[in-house]
Amino acid sequence: MAEGTALADALTAEHRAIDVGIEAFLGDAGDVQALQGAMLALRRHIYLEEVFLFPPLKPTMMMPIFVMLREHGELWRAMDGVDAAVAAGDDADAKCRDLLVLLDEHNKKEEPIIYPRADADLDDDVRAELADFLTDGTYPDGWVCEQA
C-alpha cells in the first residue's frame, strides 16, 4: 500500500479489482484465470476484514459488523458455487452474475459505513498491521469465514 493512502481507499480498490476479475470472466474472453484470481482475492479480502478490521471495530459497531459477517457467509457460499461450476466445466455465468449482485449490495454498505472507521478508529498498530497485510499478506490454507 502506498504511503499516505487511506485504508478505506485501499480496501475499496480491492473491491473494484475483484469485480473486474469476475467481469473479465463474463466478458467475451471467458477468462477463467481472472475469475480464479478474483475468487482468491475475495477470500483473502474477507480474511483481512474478519481477522484485522472487524475485531477492533466490533465494540462500537456490533450490528453493522454482524451484518457484514452474515453477508460474508453468503458470499463465501456463492464463491463455492462458482468454483464448483468452473471445476465441473458447467456454465458459471449465472452464478458469477449472482455473486456480483451480492458483492454490490454488500459493498454499498461496507464502504460508507465500515471503511471510514478503519481510518478514524483503529490504533496505529492495527492500521500498520492491516496496511502490511494489504501489501503482501495471504490467508491460511483451509481458512473459511465465520459464517460460511
Give the global pTM.
0.94
Domains and CATH numbers, the chain: 7-136 (1.20.120.520)
Three cell numbers at 33?
484465470
Query: Quick one: pLDDT at residue 28?
Result: 74
CB atoms within 10 A of CB 59: 9
Query: Quick one: pLDDT at residue 134?
Result: 93
Query: Quick one: pLDDT at residue 5?
Result: 56
Query: Quick one: pLDDT at residue 38?
Result: 97
**Residue where the block lists cell 479480502:** 45
| Under 8 Å between Cβ of 128 and 78 | no
Three cell numbers at 104?
454490490
What are the tens digits of pLDDT across the range 75-116? 999 999 999 999 999 999 999 999 999 999 999 999 999 999
